[in-house]
Amino acid sequence: MEQYYVLQNGVKMPCIGYGTYKCTDGSDERVVRMALEAGYRMLDTAAFYGNETYVGKALRESGIPRKELFLTSKVWKTELGYEKTMKSFEASLERLQSDYLDLFLLHWPKPSPDAEDWKELDRESWRALEELYHQGKVRAIGVSNFLPHHLEALMETADVRPMVDQLELHVGYMQETAVQFCKSWGIQVQAWSPLGRRRVLEEPVVLEMAQKYGVSPAQFLLSFLLQQKIGVIPKASSVERMRQNLELPDLEIRSEDLYLLRCLPQIGWSGEHPDRERVAAQE
Give the integer Cα–Cα distance in Å for 183 and 187: 6
Which positions ≥6 away from 218 have C-beta within 8 Å? 195, 201, 234, 241, 244, 245
Segment (H or E) for 181: helix 176-184
Q: Which of 49, 54, 133, 173 is catalytic?
A: 49
- Angle at the Cα of 143 from the Cα atoms of 142 and 146, rounded to 5 degrees: 145
Burial (CB < 10 A; 0-12, 13-18, 19+), residue 274, is middle
Q: Which residues of 85-114 are buried (b: 16+ CB within 10 A; e: fewer)?
A: bbebbeebbebbebeebbbbbbbbbbbeee
Active-site residue 49, yes or no?
yes
Catalytic annotation, residues: 49
